[in-house]
Amino acid sequence: MNAPTSVIGTAAATEANAFLSLANGDRLDIEAIRQHVPVRRCKHAAGQGVYHAGQPFLALYLVHSGSYKTCELADDGREQVTGFRMRGSLMGTESIGLKNYSCDVIALEDSEAWELPYPAILRACLHLPELQAYITGALAAEVRSDRSWMLMLGTLAAERRVAAFLLDVAARYAHLGYSAKHFILRMSRIDMASFLALKHETVSRALSRLHDLHLISVQRREVQVLDVDGLRALAGSGLVLN
Amino acid sequence: MNAPTSVIGTAAATEANAFLSLANGDRLDIEAIRQHVPVRRCKHAAGQGVYHAGQPFLALYLVHSGSYKTCELADDGREQVTGFRMRGSLMGTESIGLKNYSCDVIALEDSEAWELPYPAILRACLHLPELQAYITGALAAEVRSDRSWMLMLGTLAAERRVAAFLLDVAARYAHLGYSAKHFILRMSRIDMASFLALKHETVSRALSRLHDLHLISVQRREVQVLDVDGLRALAGSGLVLN
DNA sequence: CGACGCGTTGAGCAGACTCAATCACAGTGG
DNA sequence: CCACTGTGATTGAGTCTGCTCAACGCGTCG
């Protein structure tokens, strides 16, 4: 009924069922879970928070459409974007075992996430052993992904970091069935810079440089990948997906 | 019979039972697990590997004594220390859901880890629901810890990173019952530098600087914390423990 | 004892940051 | 409809932190 499929990575198979996508490519259909867990669909406007650090931990959230960022923040006001989430990603798992959420999640655009109350999930795990395995696996994959970004941040110069980031975004779009060669970045330069541990001016310059090298074409948030191999050579290939 | 308790943080309550220490301070006694899981005690010489990326994922390892580092490595040879493990830490969880381990674990000194075969753990989870919860909680805590280091790496200058690192080490020693004011760093400057995304010369200079500021006293690997509050002020306080 | 690994320190350099100006675009209101 | 405004992105100039290269000291182990 809505969203005529636009050229480049917009709203996503909007009315298809959501799924839980695992690192190894497995997808756990949410319908099985829905039998045990009451799901509430939550819409978020761009900039709106899903949950904030300190709020009581009550539910996990499955991204259905749009995109989100997760932010870590320190007492003294320092702030860091630690990840970007797209359709199929389960948010809130990092707070399992705590009374309160440990980080912030904010919508980058108008988005929708499905709220899965945690107590109900725990009960459902008793009936659905694969759900328990799924959550454990998702957490492990998150650790691996974070560590592979730590490797990237610790070993690559600014320009290479940006290249690696673009390849990651491209791979994620491809995984969702969108073009890996032509897409719109959903986050601001500031968010990108924070995630990459750089300043936004540096990210901007790096993108311009990659453009000048004919590896990509970039205009504001629209990116076209012109030379994947060139990008890979810069980024040092390997990167674990979410 | 062995290890006369030395001045500063050596071998640890060597013959006491191991335990699984959780983020919230909970400790799960390993005796309960031992009834279901065959435990093999593995000694590792300094520099020896526990497991390597690519090897089949067969077991988790619980640090009993000594210390280990976890290393992420890229195809092109880039390498990054992603964490240091001490008594009570469960290693290998990041590889859950994979056929092969995703990273390397290497002993920093002569150490011992207890091998817990993963299939047996999975079976034990059916009898011990708190074990399942424990593993999930440990994974979530790992994610939070990694993210809090990402925050640190993304927002603090070299000297502040080193201060934050020392405070973390101190807190971990304190948590194990050792002195938080006087301890021996078990890792080389190179490993510290890799973890902190710096060069070893920079770490060395930072330590010397903290020494000159009378915040610490340092001679090679021996560290005394002289001014905790001063260090905290530099590091910006907050840091999530493992 | 000599060799090697590890740690410290110095000098010079460069990549990323800071500060600042300009441009592009979306949204608002006259 | 278009001027006005605010946010986000780009680009430039100059600075500084952390890196590179190199020398040297200390301690350990063969």
pTM value? 0.90
- Containing A88, the helix (H) or strand (E) segment is none
Interface test with B, best of A73, A81, A90, A139 (most B CBs within 10 A): A139
Interface test with A, best of B98, B126, B155 (most A CBs within 10 A): B155
Whether residue B93 lies within 8 A of chain A, CB to CB, comes out as yes
Amino acid letter, residue B62: L
Mean pLDDT, all residues of chain A: 88
- Using alpha carbons, list the distances in angstroms from residue B165 to A4, B51, B148, B201: 51, 25, 12, 16
pLDDT tens for each residue of B118-155? 999 999 998 888 889 999 999 999 999 999 999 999 99
Which nucleotide C1' is nearest B208 CA? C8
pLDDT tens for each residue of B45-73? 999 999 999 999 999 999 999 999 999 99
What's the CA A162/C1' C23 distance, rounded, in angstroms? 23
Q: Is the CB of B154 under 7 A from strand C?
A: no
**What value, to the nearest 5°, has the Cα angle with vertex B132 and ends B127 and B133?**
125
Q: Mean pLDDT: which of A46-60, A124-138, B31-45, B124-138 is highest?
A: A46-60
Report the pLDDT value the prediction gives residue B31, as an integer from 0 to 100: 76
Which among A24, A146, A238 is the nearest to B147, CB-wise?
A: A146
Query: For the purposes of burial, counting CB atoms within 10 Å of the CB of B181, is it exposed (0-12), middle (13-18) or buried (19 or more)?
Result: middle
Cβ atoms of residues B224 and B185 within 8 Å? no
Helix (H, G, I), strand (E, B) or coil at B85: strand
> Å from A162 to nearest chain B CA?
15
Q: Which residue is nearest to nucleotide D7 (CA to C1')?
A: A188
Helices vs. strands in chain A: H and E counts, helices first: 7, 13
> How far is A224 from A219, CA to CA, in rounded Å?
9
Which nucleotide C1' is nearest A190 CA? D8
pLDDT tens for each residue of A62-76? 999 999 999 999 988
Please answer yes or no on whether A80 and B141 come within 8 Å at the CB atom.
no
Which of B128, B124, B198 is CA-nearest to residue B158? B198
Q: What is the dihedral of CA B34, B39, B43, B47, to 10 degrees?
A: -100
| Residue-by-residue DSSP string for B133-175 | HHHHHHHHHHHHHHHHHHHHHHH--HHHHHHHHHHHHHHHHHH
Instruction: Show residues of chain B in contact with A156, CB under 8 Å.
Output: 78
Neighbours of B4 (CB within 10 A): 6
